[in-house]
Amino acid sequence: MNILIQIENEALNFNKYYTFVDSLNEDFGAQVIFTGFVRKNDYAEPITHLYIEHYPQVTEDEIRKIVEKAAEKWQLETAVVAHRVGKIAVGEAIVWVMTQSKHRLDAYAANEFIMDYLKISAPFWKKEHFQNGQENWVAAKQSDQEKSQIWL
C-alpha cells in the first residue's frame, strides 16, 4: 500500500498530491476525497482564523498508524493525508484525505475512518481566533468520540 502524509505550513497543494498518486500508476476502481475547511460561524461571534500546533514526526507517526489501521480493515491501494498547521483563515482547506481502492465501498469506508480518527487521536492543538479578539482552545467533541465507536 502507498501512503503519503503531508503536514503543511502553507495552503494545501492538491496538485502535488495528485502528482504523487499519478506517479504510482496503481490499478484502482474508486477514489474518494474529503476536504475539510475552516468555518466562520460555529458560534455567535465569527471566527477569523484557526491556529494549529503539532509535534513534528509524532503527528506524522500517529497519522500513519491511523492509515495502517484503515488498511487492515479495507483493501486500500493508496492513502494520502494532508493537514495544515499554523495560521489558517476562514474558507481555507485544513485537511485533505484521499483513499483509493479497487472497490468504492472500501474507499468510502477507509476515508471516513481516517477522518474520524484524525479528529480524535491525531496530535493537533487548535485555537480559534474570533473577530472580537478572543481566543479559544478547541476541546475534543463528545460527538466525535461517540462517532468513532462505530469502528470498534
Q: Which range marks the domain in which residue 58 is found?
A: 2-145
What integer best gives the mean pLDDT of the chain? 93
Q: For 37-91, write each residue's pLDDT tens digit.
A: 999 877 788 999 999 999 999 999 999 999 999 999 999 999 999 999 999 999 9
Sorted by sequence, the CB contacts under 8 Å of residue 56 that are 6+ apart come out as 7
Number of structural domains found in the chain: 1
Backbone angles phi, psi at 26, to 5 degrees: -80, 155
Per-residue pLDDT at 149? 74
Distance, in Å, from the CA atom of 97 to the CA atom of 21, rounded to the nearest integer, reads: 12
Per-residue pLDDT at 152 exceeds 70 = no
Per-residue pLDDT at 148 exceeds 80 = no
Domain for residue 101, yes or no? yes
Q: How many CB atoms lie within 10 A of CB 150?
A: 9
Q: For 93-134, write each residue's pLDDT tens digit.
A: 999 999 999 999 999 999 999 999 999 889 999 999 999 999
Per-residue pLDDT at 111? 98
Per-residue pLDDT at 26 exceeds 90 = no
Here the CATH number for the domain that contains residue 128 is 3.90.1170.40
Domain for residue 19, yes or no? yes
Closest alpha carbon to 42 in 150, 131, 103, 106:
131
